[in-house]
Amino acid sequence: MCNSIAHYGIIRQAALAGALKFDSLDPRAYARGPHRAVDDRPYGGGPGMVMKPGPLAACIDAARMSRPGPVVYLSPQGELLNQSLVEELAALPGLILLAGRYEGIDERIVESRVEREISIGDYVLAGGELAAMVIVEAIARLLPGVLGNRMSAEQDSFSSGLLDCPHFTRPERFEGRNVPPVLLGGDHEKIRQWRLTQALVRTGERRPDLIANLDPDQFRLNDEQVELLSTYQLEQEDG
């Protein structure tokens, strides 16, 4: 599953550019016994199965022999992923992403080998593989030499702490809807102001939590942004 995802899109491009090396290990290859079982019933009873510690320990230890970076376990109990965490992870020399299945993994593996636990959102997946690949893709597009236009990673949603502005391409009129005239005018300063206002308004309307959570040391509305917002509000009131 992970290898096939790694063969598409930006992860593949990052690998071809030499910016990223991805591989995967199957815990089953480290399991003993005729059935190579990687899961077992939970102590204390209850539904579902738990991943056995033995094969996971051997698999993680094999991974650590030649791969740098912390062991990150994907689970709904982890720290919530966001763009600043992605940026932090992208700066590391590597990552060992541990994907659980079933009800989870034996807690002793978390205690002995997991350095960080990350969740990609408040919902439950059947396993951590897709969550791991979400992290790999989010990192891949930040690596030097991967995105065609280096600016585009800096300009998109969240990297400034705000949601992205709307985008338009040809044709100028589509199904009776026009591209905002400011974008056709070629006045780059006006366009920059329009985009910033849109980003501010969108963030305020859709994700007020992002505004509330902005780190005041990293992001404070500057005079220009306050001015743009009040101009926008006045325009709205005037209809």
209 is catalytic: no
**Which conformational region is residue 187 in: left (phi greater than 0), alpha (psi within -120 to 50 degrees), or beta?**
beta
Burial (0-12, 13-18, 19+ Cβ within 10 Å), 91: exposed
Residue found by looking up tokens 């998109």 in the block: 156
Q: Among 120, 133, 136, 140, which residue interacts with ligand ADE (rule: CB under 6 A)?
A: 120
Q: Please state, as a whole number, how many other Cβ atoms lie within 10 Å of the Cβ of residue 39.
A: 19
53 is catalytic: no
156 is catalytic: yes
Residue 101 found at the interface with ligand ADE (CB under 6 A): no
Residue 129 found at the interface with ligand ADE (CB under 6 A): no
Spatial CA neighbour of 200 closest among 235, 160, 229? 229
Q: Among 4, 45, 93, 124, which residue interacts with ligand ADE (rule: CB under 6 A)?
A: 124
Residue 65 found at the interface with ligand ADE (CB under 6 A): no
Spatial CA neighbour of 2 closest among 32, 27, 36? 27
Residue 74 found at the interface with ligand ADE (CB under 6 A): yes
Q: Among 121, 144, 180, 208, which residue interacts with ligand ADE (rule: CB under 6 A)?
A: 121
Catalytic pick among 23, 103, 154, 235: 103
The residues binding ligand ADE (CB under 6 A) are 74-76, 119-121, 123-125, 128, 131
